[in-house]
A = this chain, B = another copy of it.
Amino acid sequence: MTLSAATGGYSPPVPRSSPPAISLAVDLVILTIRDGKLNVLLIERGKPPFRGRLALPGGFLEDGEDLDEAAIRELGEETNIEGRNLHLEQLRTYAAPGRDPRGRVVSVAYLAIAPDLPPPVAGSDAAASRWMPVGGHGPLAFDHDEILAHGVERARAKLEYSPLAAAFCEEPFTIADLRSVYEVVWGVALDPRNFHRKVNSVGNFVVPTGERRQPRSGRPAALYRRGQATVLHPAMLRPTKP
């Protein structure tokens, strides 16, 4: 955001108005890849507002809970993630007045990346909960279209310089599995040969297990696990269009 500060200048120190009553919620953008498409977990709202509309899973913060704890709890309520490693990061906070007709609801959005998960379970507020291809759903409840767009944008950007792509893969995985993540999330085709070398030249991005996996046809592929790298050197740069 860049602004041409139009705030009308200096305001003298005055007592603040008493803060309005606020509810704090956590909403989750949970992404995975299913059938070669980027999918997001959506719920069908079982009660007003936006009854029957699709929405991101989420819920209100409980007493004494920190944001990460609430996000993990909601994740557990919406999906079967016991014992799995997954990526979870805070995305952004949304507080526009009127974004929730029930009143002043501030939502802290989280981005979660998971391998293809078992079918989700029904959540508390949810009449139904299911994976949907991103873009293959109507408008979402509240400002969730905007939140989802931010989440997808963040994921696309982080593929370049972080090992996030590996979070989409069930371990162990092949280089082709990993390449498919990049291709699906970025919506581009990558050269398998160059991709293979590039991934292996990045320090600690993936580590070979020594095992192999037989594809439907063709030479067996080496298997890998996620490495310890938190940033990629060099980065996996997105191909430039022109």
Contact = CB atoms under 8 A, between A and B. Distances in A.
Interface residues of A, number: 63
Interface of A: 1-5, 7-11, 13-17, 19-24, 59-68, 72-73, 75-77, 80-90, 92-97, 106, 108, 121-125, 167, 233, 240
Contacts of A8: 76, 82
B59 A16 contact: yes
A61 B17 CA distance: 9
Interface secondary structure of A, over-half rule: loop
A14 B77 CA distance: 10
A122 B21 contact: no
28 contacts: A1-B89, A2-B85, A2-B88, A3-B85, A4-B85, A5-B81, A5-B82, A5-B84, A9-B76, A9-B82, A10-B76, A10-B82, A10-B121, A14-B124, A16-B59, A19-B23, A20-B64, A22-B23, A22-B61, A24-B24, A24-B95, A24-B106, A64-B97, A66-B95, A67-B94, A90-B92, A90-B93, A93-B108
